[in-house]
């Protein structure tokens, strides 16, 4: 399958059309950004690591009945995916207080939440992906009520499966971001699931194994991503 035309370039990936109108090639970049693009840099081989990590996780979720856009991984940096009509809502699933939630609620990072929290954000780079709720979704017709319900149910199932997956590998799934889209009438999980969009902590040491190492200048960023790949391939 060949790349034909660049359709979209984001912070971490590029999407290309292919000879099949229903399939795209998703190319993973090494560029890294944080704080709405204010901080930029390169994480060596991040694209390769994230492609492999995300492909492994998509396959795992598909085996458990979660429908995703993943089709194949033809090369180290490329993933063949189903073409989605993206629903402009980012879903953040939180199990432990960290990052913006800790600041917003005035609690110490690392506080386990009494129940899983789902947050919605409007997908808009120019606006900085502002937080919204279900009333905004309805008022601005960002998704149908049944679509939002299916997204919520799917997000909680994904959280259960991934929490178990990472726990078995000595990793705590603190929080993570999900994106969904429609393909031939079905709602599918899209985008990627990688240390770029997940907070992952070592179960024993609580050492950060995700993009917070880049955001907070903690060092050993590449080593953390490599360790995540090693563990998810177990």
Specify the pLDDT at position 38: 82
Specify the pLDDT at position 186: 96
Give pLDDT < 50 ranges for the chain: none
Nearest to 58 by CA among 153, 229, 194: 194
Specify the pLDDT at position 76: 97
Specify the pLDDT at position 37: 76
Specify the pLDDT at position 184: 95
Specify the pLDDT at position 36: 78
Specify the pLDDT at position 127: 94
pTM: predicted TM-score of the whole model, two decimal places: 0.95
Q: For residue 148, how many other CB atoms are within 10 A of its CB?
A: 20
Specify the pLDDT at position 208: 98
Q: Taking all residues of the chain, what is their mean pLDDT, rounded to a whole number?
A: 97
Domains parsed from the chain with CATH numbers: 6-82 (3.30.200.20), 86-220 (3.30.470.20)
Specify the pLDDT at position 151: 98
């Amino acid at each position: 399958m060949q790349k034909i035309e660049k359709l979209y370039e984001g912070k971490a990936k590029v999407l290309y059309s292919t000879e099949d109108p229903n399939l795209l090639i998703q190319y993973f970049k090494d560029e890294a950004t944080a704080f709405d693009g204010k901080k930029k840099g390169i994480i060596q081989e991040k694209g390769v690591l994230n492609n492999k990590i995300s492909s492994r996780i998509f396959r795992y979720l598909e085996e458990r009945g979660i429908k995703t856009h993943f089709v194949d991984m033809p090369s180290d940096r490329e993933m063949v995916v189903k073409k989605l009509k993206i629903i402009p809502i980012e879903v953040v699933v939180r199990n432990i207080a960290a990052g913006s939630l800790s600041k917003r609620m005035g609690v110490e990072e690392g506080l386990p939440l009494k129940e899983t929290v789902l947050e919605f954000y409007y997908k808009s780079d120019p606006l900085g992906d502002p937080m919204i709720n279900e009333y905004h979704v309805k008022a601005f017709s960002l998704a149908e009520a049944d679509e939002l319900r299916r997204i919520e149910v799917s997000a909680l199932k994904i959280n259960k499966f991934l929490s178990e997956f990472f726990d078995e590998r000595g990793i705590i799934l603190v929080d993570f971001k999900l994106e969904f889209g429609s393909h031939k009438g079905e709602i599918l999980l899209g985008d990627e699931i990688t240390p770029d969009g997940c907070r992952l902590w070592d179960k024993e040491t609580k050492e950060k194994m995700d993009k917070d190492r880049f955001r907070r200048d903690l060092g050993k960023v590449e080593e953390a991503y490599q360790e995540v790949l090693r563990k998810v391939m177990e």
